Amino acid sequence: MRNMDIDDCVAPEQIWSEFTGMPGEPPLARRCGELFAQQLYNWQEFATAYMEMNGAWLRELNAAGHTLLAQYNPGRAVSATAAVDASAVRRRPCFLCPDRLPAAQRAVRYRGDFLILVNPRPIFSPHFTVAHVRHLPQRLAGHVRTLLTLAKDLGNDFTVFYNGPRCGASAPDHHHFQVCPADAVPVEKEWEKGRLVRAGKRTGVDFALRDLPGRGLVVMEGRDEGAVAALLEELIAALEPGGERGGEEALFNLLTTYRDGLWRLFLFPRRKHRPDAYYREGDDALLVTPGAVEMGGLIITVQERDFLRMTAPLVVEILGEVSLLAEEVEKIGEIFEIFTASAPQ
């Protein structure tokens, strides 16, 4: 009989290894590497998906000196076209709940509350999903410290990203982060090319608003975990809409790195979930669902014809439609009150 934990329904055989953060434990990156190897050898469906992804076509595009990438990855069709409206989500079984995971899937249990899983429809090598053990809605509030600690535990070789429930997440009903290799998303190397629109500082955390092709980028950098977490929470609250949608999470995507003691956060404020072209009929439909990866400059296409017609101006148009431009972010005055009002003289 399964010895199920009442809280989270994780069966013992689903746990490949555990990371608790105790001193002397093997590094988390090593644990993840072991999981990846285990799944490659023991889960045929994943091994096939991974090999297909490794053969994915990639094109480099240039938008006014900025590098953008387009990947053709038909294996992502399910994720890119997932119905994420509330009624569709209610009708389908949740694919991130522990009792719904494929029989061959194993996890690194991370600091008790999360399972690190290989993504069965990868964009990257490797590509992990970090899912909460319980069926909680996708929302960053309350999980900011987990995000920062996870980035630190994974170290220099990985980047953690978050898609808001209406900003590319295909599981808006189950809280999760994703992990990709460092520098796999162009913005990590390209961000300084973006024109600096505004800058500020508070409690040792640097803030900058930059203008990238088609979208505004907010960059935060700091070495004090508590200070970075507090300012990120304030920033998200400042972006939150009032009125009818008040109380809902602001629309944004976030990538987080931890390199040699420094957290760097790339936050893209969003306008909407999918571009209008997604909903066109027939050959005019463009099946692109922008999330953190796309906002960071790597466009995933799931149809060959979309991949072939992808040009830098088209990518910039798609990103521009779903993003807030730098000058629009600049009008959200509350953001700058957080940083510059308390900036040191």
By the criterion CB under 5 A, which residues form the site for Zn ion?
Answer: 94, 96-97, 135, 174
Tell me how long the chain is.
Answer: 345
- To Zn ion, the closest distance from the beta carbon of 97 in angstroms equals 3
130 bridge partner residues: 116, 177
Of 49 and 97, CB closest to Zn ion: 97
Q: Looking at beta carbons only, is 15 or 277 nearer to Zn ion?
A: 15
Closest approach of Cβ 138 to Zn ion, in Å?
A: 10
Nearest approach in angstroms of CB 79 to Zn ion is: 15
Q: Compute the distance between CA of residue 106 and CA of residue 215 in angstroms, rounded to an integer.
A: 37
Distance in Å, CB of 115 to Zn ion, minimum: 11
Q: What's the token pair of residue 164?
A: 């808001």
Structure-token match 């799931």, residue found: 302
Query: Which CB atom, from 97 or from 267, has the smaller least distance to Zn ion?
Result: 97
Minimum separation from the CB atom of position 100 to Zn ion (A): 7
Instruction: Residue 68: name the closest of 333, 317, 327, 329 by CA.
Output: 317
Q: How far is CA 52 from CA 13, 57, 122, 125, 223, in A?
A: 28, 10, 9, 11, 39
Q: Taking the complex as a whole, how short is the minimal distance between the CB of residue 135 and Zn ion, in angstroms?
A: 4
State the nearest-atom distance from the C-beta of 134 to Zn ion, in Å. 8
CB 149 within 8 Å of CB 59: no
Q: How far is CA 119 from CA 35, 102, 222, 272, in A?
A: 11, 12, 30, 25
Contact 251, 164 (CB under 8 A): yes
23 or 93: whose CB is closer to Zn ion? Answer: 93
Cβ atoms 178, 126 nearer than 8 A? no
Burial 217-230 (b: 16+ CB within 10 A, else e): bbbbbbeebebbbb
Closer residue to Zn ion in complex, CB, 27/137: 137
Identify the three-state secondary structure at position 14.
helix
Residue of minimal Cβ distance to Zn ion: 94
Q: Which is nearer to Zn ion, 96 or 318 (CB)?
A: 96
Using the minimum distance from each CB to Zn ion, give the nearer residue, 96 or 326. 96
Work out how close the CB of 90 gets to Zn ion at its nearest, in angstroms, rounded to a whole number.
12
Cβ–Cβ under 8 Å, residues 232 and 220: yes
Q: Cα(105)–Cα(176) distance, rounded to whole angstroms?
A: 16
Enumerate residues 6+ apart whose C-beta is below 8 A from 48.
none
Residue nearer to Zn ion on the CB measure, 115 or 250: 115
Tokens standing for 65? 């000196």
CA 68, distance to chain mean position in Å, is 17
